[in-house]
């Protein structure tokens, strides 16, 4: 059972959240509900908490303050923010500081709330599985010490030197130190092809290979698609990265970007981390390159007057909008803004143009797509497409509801006929004659999950039937249920069912 608490200053909201879920059935223990952050924090001092559901604006102690304190106490805590429509700046801050997701309190449906909770539970379970796997790997004393060092460096980077009793890094890596930040490229394409679990499987393999093949150094998984390496091979950083790629990654059907920087003292760990990350981010401007060194550059934030912008661009004029975005592109190309700042500005352009005319959740989905772009050219093209689509939605909205339902019926018929073959979101969108982006929005609205994850669920269900009801070999089951890679199929099947294909067959055929 995982422990959960609810915090909101509105009694009606607290009651609604509590009543929306059969907590025991979901494997959760509701410790209590509280009217402000201070009360919740007092409860947390006496209880371990796995999931925190908190309002943002509350008296005594607000939700963001509570969240930051709670994550320091429980680093693996999963947080769900409860917000109003006018809280989105706070929501963004909360997501930056580690919240898993958010829900809108006044439009919240029980199904949506349960889905978000299950998402948190899934993340907790996934982390537990990863920890169990790493525990098995950590057989030797040397490896255990390196893993402890990895945790110490994590704590140092997250919380500061004062929160780490002692880092014996020089026992393993006599300085100077080479920081290498590695970022997985084409993440959206990988997710669309293999599902969201694929990235973590690959990164686990890379981390395991690193600790198996290298005597020294540490490897830290950052988020879902990034890795941080800390080495003492500083004589030729580019060569060190090439060797790292050859040892850990070569042969995998994917690409990575690398940023690096060197530090000479232990108290510069944070600087090395930030600089190597900043270097890796330069791929946003230079897609043809894969290895980047840190280059300090004076940044400027060139702010837009959005009221003037709306007066200039509205009513909708495609020529004016194209010219405006082209001008911003030229400015962005100068690297005087960070990629994250450019993405925020692009989202602000979109939301300021359409906030009063389109559903806010739809705009947030579109902003999430913008923030998921990896390259400046990709962002610029997508922004123009999004603006055009939003305008089309406004002009055609009264006619769309029935047509959309018919489109989705056709889409699901097509999916269920072809899910064991190669099948992408674009292929289905082309079949029903709408854009890939618009089909993605319709699909998320109807299923509350990504297209590929829905397809993978169908394939795993089909594989389960074949394992139970036929004597096909595992590679045949994989192929006949839509998986081309039997190794990936076996790992994914175990993650989703808790059994290997062989043990699943043994359990269900006897």
One domain for residues 104 and 159:
no
Question: What token pair was written down for 186?
Answer: 């084409």
Question: What token pair was written down for 434?
Answer: 């709408």
- Check whether 250 has a pLDDT greater than 80: no
- Check whether 345 has a pLDDT greater than 70: yes
Q: Which residue has the higher pLDDT, 142 or 256?
A: 256
State the CATH number of the domain containing residue 215. 3.30.70.270
State the CATH number of the domain containing residue 484. 1.10.10.60
pLDDT at 314 (0 to 100): 74
Peptide bond into 120 cis (omega under 30): no
pLDDT at 381 (0 to 100): 95
Q: How many domains does the chain have?
A: 4
One domain for residues 173 and 121:
no
pLDDT at 225 (0 to 100): 86
> What tens digit of pLDDT does each residue of 93-106 get?
878 778 888 888 77
> What tens digit of pLDDT does each residue of 50-65 get?
999 998 888 899 889 9
In a domain? residue 101 = yes
C-alpha R_g of the chain: 24
Q: Which residue has the higher pLDDT, 414 or 134?
A: 414
Distance of CA 345 to CAs 142, 151, 207, 282, 305, Å? 47, 35, 35, 18, 11
CB 480, CB 488: distance < 8 Å: no
One domain for residues 247 and 323:
no
Name the domain boundary from 270, 293, 316. 293
One domain for residues 272 and 310:
no
**Mean pLDDT of the 31-36 span:** 92
Peptide bond into 507 cis (omega under 30): no
pLDDT at 401 (0 to 100): 57
Q: Which of 36, 34, 39 is nearest to 14 (CA)?
A: 34
Confidence of residue 357 (pLDDT cuts 50, 70, 90): confident
Q: Which residue has the higher pLDDT, 137 or 389?
A: 389
One domain for residues 67 and 186:
no
Strand (E) or helix (H) holding 16: helix 11-19
> What tens digit of pLDDT does each residue of 426-484 get?
899 999 988 887 788 788 878 878 898 899 999 999 999 999 999 899 999 999 999 98
Confidence of residue 143 (pLDDT cuts 50, 70, 90): low
Distance of CA 97 to CAs 307, 329, 339, 478, Å? 30, 29, 18, 39
Torsion angle (degrees, nearest 10) of CA 9, 94, 331, 279:
170
One domain for residues 83 and 151:
no
pLDDT at 161 (0 to 100): 63
In a domain? residue 148 = yes
pLDDT at 169 (0 to 100): 59
Q: Which residue has the higher pLDDT, 72 or 399?
A: 72
Q: Which residue has the higher pLDDT, 16 or 400?
A: 16
> What tens digit of pLDDT does each residue of 168-226 get?
555 555 668 899 999 999 888 887 777 777 888 888 888 888 888 887 788 888 877 89
Name the domain boundary from 234, 259, 293. 293
In a domain? residue 432 = no
Confidence of residue 138 (pLDDT cuts 50, 70, 90): low
Output the average pLDDT for the chain.
Answer: 85
Name the domain boundary from 293, 326, 358. 293
One domain for residues 162 and 236:
yes
pLDDT at 160 (0 to 100): 66
Three-state SS letters, 385-433: HHHHHHHHHHHHHHHHHHHHHHHHHHHHHHHHHHCCCCCCHHHHHHHCC
One domain for residues 233 and 268:
yes
One domain for residues 208 and 326:
no
Question: What token pair was written down for 233?
Answer: 């091979």
Q: Which residue has the higher pLDDT, 361 or 421?
A: 421
The whole-angstrom separation of Cα 14 and Cα 252 is 48
pLDDT at 170 (0 to 100): 55
Residue with tokens 């525990």: 135
pLDDT at 354 (0 to 100): 87
In a domain? residue 24 = yes
- Which residues lie closer than 8 Å to 150 by C-beta, 6 or more apart? 218, 219, 220
The whole-angstrom separation of Cα 171 and Cα 442 is 55
Confidence of residue 41 (pLDDT cuts 50, 70, 90): very high
In a domain? residue 400 = no
Determine the structural domain holding residue 484 and report its residue range: 453-509
One domain for residues 102 and 153:
no
CB 252, CB 180: distance < 8 Å: no
**Mean pLDDT of the 400-420 span:** 85
One domain for residues 284 and 344:
no
Burial of 463 (0-12, 13-18, 19+ CB in 10 A): buried
Question: What token pair was written down for 91?
Answer: 């929501």
In a domain? residue 402 = no
Q: Which residue has the higher pLDDT, 207 or 152?
A: 207
Strands in 226-231's sheet, in edge-to-edge order, are: 218-222, 226-231, 177-184, 256-263, 291-293
One domain for residues 314 and 289:
no
In a domain? residue 289 = yes
pLDDT at 106 (0 to 100): 76
Confidence of residue 398 (pLDDT cuts 50, 70, 90): low
- Which residues lie closer than 8 Å to 364 by C-beta, 6 or more apart? 88
pLDDT at 77 (0 to 100): 92
Strands 78-83 and 101-104: parallel
Residue with tokens 């790997």: 137
pLDDT at 279 (0 to 100): 95
Of the chain, the percentage scoring pLDDT greater than 70 comes to 91
The whole-angstrom separation of Cα 399 and Cα 410 is 18
pLDDT at 165 (0 to 100): 57
In a domain? residue 328 = yes
pLDDT at 261 (0 to 100): 94
The whole-angstrom separation of Cα 441 and Cα 232 is 47
CB 51, CB 117: distance < 8 Å: yes
Confidence of residue 301 (pLDDT cuts 50, 70, 90): low
Of the listed ranges 191-195, 215-219, 316-320, 485-489, the one predicted with least confidence: 191-195
């Amino acid at each position: 059972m995982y422990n959960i608490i609810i915090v909101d200053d509105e009694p009606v909201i607290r009651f609604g959240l509590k009543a929306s879920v059969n907590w025991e059935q979901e494997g959760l223990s509701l410790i209590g509900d509280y009217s402000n952050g201070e009360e919740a924090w007092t409860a947390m001092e006496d209880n371990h908490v796995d999931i925190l559901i908190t309002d943002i604006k509350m008296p005594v102690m607000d939700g963001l303050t509570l969240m930051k304190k709670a994550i320091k106490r429980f680093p693996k805590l999963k947080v769900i923010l409860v917000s109003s429509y006018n809280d989105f700046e706070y929501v963004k801050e909360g997501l930056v500081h580690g919240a898993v997701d958010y829900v809108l309190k006044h439009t919240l449906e029980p199904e949506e709330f349960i889905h978000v909770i299950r998402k948190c539970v899934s993340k907790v379970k996934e982390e537990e599985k990863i920890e169990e796997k790493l525990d098995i790997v950590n057989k030797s004393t040397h490896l255990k010490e390196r893993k402890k060092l990895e945790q110490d460096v994590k704590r140092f980077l997250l919380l500061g030197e004062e929160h780490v009793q002692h880092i014996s890094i020089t026992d393993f890596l006599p300085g100077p130190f080479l920081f290498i930040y590695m970022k997985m490229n084409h993440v959206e394409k990988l997710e669309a092809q293999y599902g969201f679990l694929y990235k973590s499987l690959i990164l686990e393999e890379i981390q395991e290979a690193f600790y198996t093949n290298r005597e020294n150094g540490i490897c830290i998984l950052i988020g879902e698609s990034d890795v941080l390496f800390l080495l003492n091979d500083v004589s030729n950083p580019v060569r060190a990265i090439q060797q790292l790629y050859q040892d850990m990654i070569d042969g995998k059907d994917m690409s990575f970007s690398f940023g690096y920087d060197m530090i000479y003292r232990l108290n510069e760990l944070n600087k090395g981390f930030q600089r190597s990350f900043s270097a890796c981010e330069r791929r946003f401007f230079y897609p043809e390159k894969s290895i980047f060194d840190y280059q300090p550059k004076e940044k400027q934030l060139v702010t837009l007057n959005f009221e003037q912008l709306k007066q200039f661009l509205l009513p909708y004029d495609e020529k004016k909008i194209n010219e405006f975005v082209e001008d911003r592109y030229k400015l962005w190309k100068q690297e005087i803004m960070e990629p994250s700042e450019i993405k925020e500005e692009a989202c602000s352009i979109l939301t300021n143009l359409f906030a009063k005319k389109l559903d806010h959740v739809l705009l947030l989905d579109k902003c999430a797509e913008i923030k998921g772009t990896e390259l400046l050219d990709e962002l610029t093209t997508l922004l123009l497409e999004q603006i055009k689509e939003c305008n089309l939605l406004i002009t055609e909205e009264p006619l769309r509801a029935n047509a959309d339902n018919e489109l989705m019926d056709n889409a699901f018929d097509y999916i269920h006929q072809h899910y064991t073959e190669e099948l992408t979101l674009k292929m289905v969108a082309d079949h029903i004659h709408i854009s890939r982006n618009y089909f993605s929005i319709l699909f998320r609205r109807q299923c509350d999950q990504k297209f590929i994850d829905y397809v993978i669920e169908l394939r795993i269900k089909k594989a389960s039937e074949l394992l139970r009801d036929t004597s096909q070999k595992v590679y045949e089951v994989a192929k006949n249920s839509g998986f081309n890679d039997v190794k990936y199929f076996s790992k994914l099947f175990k993650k989703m069912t808790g059994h290997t294909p062989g043990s699943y067959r043994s359990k269900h055929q006897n």
